[in-house]
Structure 1
Amino acid sequence: MIKQIHLTTTSLVAAILAAAMTLIGLSWSALPASAADIPEASVSLHTESVVNSQWDQVDLTCEWSVPDHSQPGDTFSLQLPSELRWFGTASFDLKNDDGETVATAVADDEGRVVFTLTDFVASHPLNVGGTCNFTTQYALDPGNGSVDELVFTVGSGVVRVPLPDAGECTSDCEPTPPTSAGKAMWWADSAQTQLESIFYMPPMASDSNDVVVTDVPAEGMEIDCSAVTPRVGRSVNDDGNLVEPLDNELYPAVIDCSPERLTASWTGLPEGERVELFVVTKVTDPALDVYQNNGTVVISGEETTVGAETKRTSAGGTGNGTATPSPTPSATSTPTPSATPTPSASVTPSATPTPSASVTPSATPTPTATATPTPSATPTATPSASVTPSATPTAEPSPSTTSPGIGIVPSDAPPASGTPEPLATTGAHSAAFIFAAAALLAVGSVLAFLGARRARRH
């Protein structure tokens, strides 16, 4: 009785372990592959933009590819150089012609763009690649000639994009003040909902100067009157913009602002003083491709018309991949004997024998090597000789009719050489667990059977 209990307990434990191993195997097989960086990714960058001044727009295009069998969630990245400032939409998709997203891209405030592969590559793991396009701004003043190329870090390598020769400063390399009034405008945020502009002008030339600046945005924009910043001073930074100490309190500006029009004025500015006016405008029509902001600058009665234009930028790209081809059955998957059990010389009877009448020698099948049957025997076409008569005689042929010269292969001949190769098998953690579970389940079943059999004996 005690042995029966032990056998029953052992079989129960084996069954529980089998179920647990099966669940673990199935769970393991369902776990997704962990994402990883792809140092072997290839990204080549191109630009045809010409940089002439600070905040010029630099449009970039790229071609990208990743190694075969890269996984969903894997990433690769590129780092913009410090000379470029990302702007425009900060995230975009890379899609194929059918609108399926192959990868996504996200840019951060530091100019690092991270590309992430989607589930598309799981079903299309080969030849994954495509293009991308995005826009940046040149953040430095290229007039000093200190930078002649941009260096992009991509994975473990670098990509160099040359800049047009802006000229090299050889003497008096301090920032050159403007010689006439002007205006520049750029996107103030990556979402392209606000534009910032600057009115700049040369140093005052007379002992006392009155200045009036008027800003009139075009349709699709309106002035943010809370973000108007006037500056007066003499000191400038490396970019040529005014810096501390400023003379704003000595020469305050008078501001008259509405969303449709801005006027800023100064009186009595002495010789050598410079004026800058920063204005932020909000986008009211995001459907426009181009935004314009025009105005006038009047210095001591002399009026100059100024204006700026900024294009809406977009980021995007393409991607694609190739599905794994379906396996084609090999020509050797079906075993084909090297020796076919077919006689080398077909025996064709001149007349079809019938069992109701005795076959005379004139109706005897005549093989290539002639064999004369004895009159007392009724010849029969042997099935293994590939002769198919319409009615098979029942009499057995005489030994003299089965001459080796016909080349008939006996039906019990050994099989031909060349055994078909077994199909290749692949292993996985889940399969190992399932096989182990099946083995434990079999052991439990045997133990349960033995326990039941012992119980019947008692």
Structure 2
Amino acid sequence: MNNQLHLRTVSMVAALLAIATAVLGLGLTALPANAATLPDAHINLTTESVVSNQWDQVDLSCEWSVPDHSQPGDTFSVQLPSQLRWFGKASFDLNNANGDTVATAVANDAGLVVFTLSDFVKAHPLNVGGTCSFSTQYALVPTGGETKELTFTVGSSVVRVPVAVEPCQRDCDPQAPTAAGKSMSWVDPAQTELRSVFTMPAMAADSNDVVVTDTPAAGMDIDCARVTPRTGQVVGSNGSIVEPYDDDQYPAAIDCTPGKVTVTWNGLPKGEHVELFVVTRVTDPSLAVYENTGTVTIAGTESPVVAQLRRTEASGTGDGTAVPTPTPTATTATPTPSATPTPSETPSATATPSATPSATPTPSATPSATATPSATPTPTATTATPTATPTVTSEPVVTTSSPVLVVPTEQPSKTAASDGSEQLASTGAQGSAFVFVAAALLAVGSLLAFASARWKGRRTN
């Protein structure tokens, strides 16, 4: 009895394991391929930028490629060196000439740029590659006139890019402005904010009223909380006012809306310097150029000022090649008759009947006058309608083989994938192994159940 219980228990456990394994196997089979990091992706980087000051723009160009049969979702990356920080929009597409996206690139604040392949490579798995271009800023204060080597990390390899560093040689020390002017620059690497700076020469009259207006064009709004007026008599080496400031002594009146700001000073003395800083937020990031206009009025003399700033672009291209489909060579067999169709036997032209009258009927004897001939002598073989056994004129078996179109019965052989020394993606094929194991467990459970039944029968007998 105990043996029977054991057999039943074991058979039930085997059946349950079989069911669980089968479900797991089917689930794994249905899983999509896993994205992989491509250590063998290739990127070549170059630059023609020259660095003279900190935060100078360094524009980079690249050529990239990935191994054949890389999968959608696979990634490769570029890490900027410590000397550079990303400058520009944080994501961009790499498209082919038809506008199809081959890959996308996303940069983070740490300067890591990750490229992700799109579904395009599924149908075009060969020769996938393209170009890219993006902007950075030189984050260090350059020293000495020499060529610096920038080290980029690309996957598991290192790419070294030389950049020319040439400190300023002429008119390097900014002087105090001699006329009213305006400039703009980006506040952040993501290029979401701009800063306008109004500069003016030292006041020439004994008492001066100054009015500055700033009117940004479409696509920008003034941040009224960051309008900063400044006054003073000391100018630093870069041409800007430095401490001690006279802001409390000569306060400015600010009238600000998102579309316009007006700042007014009254009674500024001779020799006083004035600056105005205005921060604007980008409301339309699709624009390539941002413009800010305004006026500077000193002691009744108005001077128009304008500044433009171009958004740096990050972009790229990509393409790939589809696996060529072999054209089935329809080998239309040219009918080559094996021989001139001839009947197996040449039928006798006269088809002599096999049964010919045995002889010309002659009476066995001259009939006596009284003797009635027993019959009109008829040939024993009445002209038998010749059962013309014309030596069987069997219809000529024309062995001329009619043209046969040879249609390939196999699918075109797939192009052999590149040597997969490293598996790039898991396709879920391992699920079939689980199904096989499940079948084996189910068979074991069935055998144990059968054995249990036999054991029970024996016990009963």
TM-score tier after normalising by the smaller chain length: 0.5 to 0.7
Residue of structure 1 equivalent to 2:435? 434
Residue of structure 2 equivalent to 1:151? 150
1:131: how far off?
2.6
On the 8 A contact 2:132/2:316 being kept in 1, the answer is yes
Q: CA RMSD in A?
A: 4.9
1:229: how far off?
0.7
What secondary structure is seen at the aligned counterpart in 2 of 1:102?
strand
Provide the C-alpha distance between the structure 1 equivalents of 2:234 and 2:29, rounded to a whole number of angstroms: 68
Q: 2:275 is aligned with what amino acid?
A: E
On the 8 A contact 2:48/2:163 being kept in 1, the answer is no
On the 8 A contact 1:36/1:75 being kept in 2, the answer is yes
Show CA shifts across 1:387-443 (max 9, x none). Answer: xx96xxxxxxxxxxxxxxxxxxxxxxxxxxxxxxxxx9x996433333222222223
Show CA shifts across 1:335-356 (max 9, x none). Answer: xxxxxxxxxxx999997369xx
Aligned with residue 217 of structure 1, among 215, 235, 249? 215
Provide the C-alpha distance between the structure 2 equivalents of 1:24 and 1:438, rounded to a whole number of angstroms: 13
1:149: how far off?
5.4
Q: 5 Å matches for 1:241-256?
A: 241-256=240-255
On the 8 A contact 1:77/1:115 being kept in 2, the answer is yes
Kindly tell me: are residues 117 and 242 of structure 1, through their superposed partners in 2, closer, same or farther at Cα, counting changes over 3 Å?
farther
Residue of structure 2 equivalent to 1:64? 64
Q: 5 Å matches for 1:175-214?
A: 175-180=173-178, 181-188=180-187, 194-201=193-200, 204=202, 210=208, 212=210, 214=212
Residue of structure 1 equivalent to 2:344? 352
Residue of structure 2 equivalent to 1:113? 113
Q: 1:112 is aligned with what amino acid?
A: L
Q: 1:217 is aligned with what amino acid?
A: T
Residue of structure 2 equivalent to 1:12? 12
What TM-score do the two structures reach when normalised by structure 2? Answer: 0.61
Provide the C-alpha distance between the structure 2 equivalents of 1:350 and 1:36, rounded to a whole number of angstroms: 70
Residue of structure 2 equivalent to 1:334? none
What secondary structure is seen at the aligned counterpart in 1 of 2:25?
helix
Provide the C-alpha distance between the structure 2 equivalents of 1:451 and 1:328, rounded to a whole number of angstroms: 60
Provide the C-alpha distance between the structure 2 equivalents of 1:5 and 1:314, rounded to a whole number of angstroms: 76
Provide the C-alpha distance between the structure 1 equivalents of 2:235 and 2:40, rounded to a whole number of angstroms: 45
On the 8 A contact 1:57/1:137 being kept in 2, the answer is yes
Q: 1:232 is aligned with what amino acid?
A: T
1:17: how far off?
2.1
Q: 5 Å matches for 1:278-427?
A: 278-283=277-282, 288-297=287-296, 305-323=304-322, 352=344
Show CA shifts across 1:354-402 (max 9, x none). Answer: 9xxxxxxxxxxxxxxxxxxxxxxxxxxxxxxxxxx96xxxxxxxxxxxx
Q: 1:352 is aligned with what amino acid?
A: S
Provide the C-alpha distance between the structure 1 equivalents of 2:224 and 2:164, rounded to a whole number of angstroms: 37
1:11: how far off?
3.0
Show CA shifts across 1:12-66 (max 9, x none). Answer: 3322222222233333445556555444333334556677887776654432223
Provide the C-alpha distance between the structure 1 equivalents of 2:186 and 2:310, rounded to a whole number of angstroms: 9
Residue of structure 2 equivalent to 1:395? none
1:321: how far off?
3.6
On the 8 A contact 2:145/2:167 being kept in 1, the answer is no
Runs (5+) with no aligned partner, structure 2 = 329-337, 347-395, 398-415, 421-427
Kindly tell me: are residues 445 and 287 of structure 1, through their superposed partners in 2, closer, same or farther at Cα, counting changes over 3 Å?
closer
Kindly tell me: are residues 327 and 2 of structure 1, through their superposed partners in 2, closer, same or farther at Cα, counting changes over 3 Å?
farther
On the 8 A contact 2:216/2:222 being kept in 1, the answer is no
On the 8 A contact 1:59/1:133 being kept in 2, the answer is yes
Aligned length: 372
Residue of structure 2 equivalent to 1:374? none
Residue of structure 2 equivalent to 1:402? none
Q: 1:432 is aligned with what amino acid?
A: A
Kindly tell me: are residues 353 and 186 of structure 1, through their superposed partners in 2, closer, same or farther at Cα, counting changes over 3 Å?
same
Kindly tell me: are residues 12 and 237 of structure 1, through their superposed partners in 2, closer, same or farther at Cα, counting changes over 3 Å?
farther
Provide the C-alpha distance between the structure 2 equivalents of 1:195 and 1:154, rounded to a whole number of angstroms: 31
**Structure whose CA Rg is larger:** 2
Q: Taking CA–CA contacts closer than 8 Å with sequence separation of 6 or more, which of the two structures ends up with the larger relative contact order? A: 2
On the 8 A contact 2:176/2:240 being kept in 1, the answer is no
Kindly tell me: are residues 437 and 324 of structure 1, through their superposed partners in 2, closer, same or farther at Cα, counting changes over 3 Å?
farther
Provide the C-alpha distance between the structure 2 equivalents of 1:437 and 1:117, rounded to a whole number of angstroms: 37
Q: 1:160 is aligned with what amino acid?
A: V
Kindly tell me: are residues 287 and 350 of structure 1, through their superposed partners in 2, closer, same or farther at Cα, counting changes over 3 Å?
closer
What TM-score do the two structures reach when normalised by structure 1? Answer: 0.62
Q: 5 Å matches for 1:36-185?
A: 37-46=37-46, 59-80=59-80, 86-97=86-97, 99-121=99-121, 124-136=124-136, 151=150, 153-155=152-154, 156-160=157-161, 162-163=163-164, 165=166, 167-168=168-169, 175-180=173-178, 181-185=180-184
Residue of structure 2 equivalent to 1:444? 445
Provide the C-alpha distance between the structure 2 equivalents of 1:39 and 1:249, rounded to a whole number of angstroms: 60
Provide the C-alpha distance between the structure 1 equivalents of 2:113 and 2:235, rounded to a whole number of angstroms: 33
Kindly tell me: are residues 245 and 21 of structure 1, through their superposed partners in 2, closer, same or farther at Cα, counting changes over 3 Å?
farther
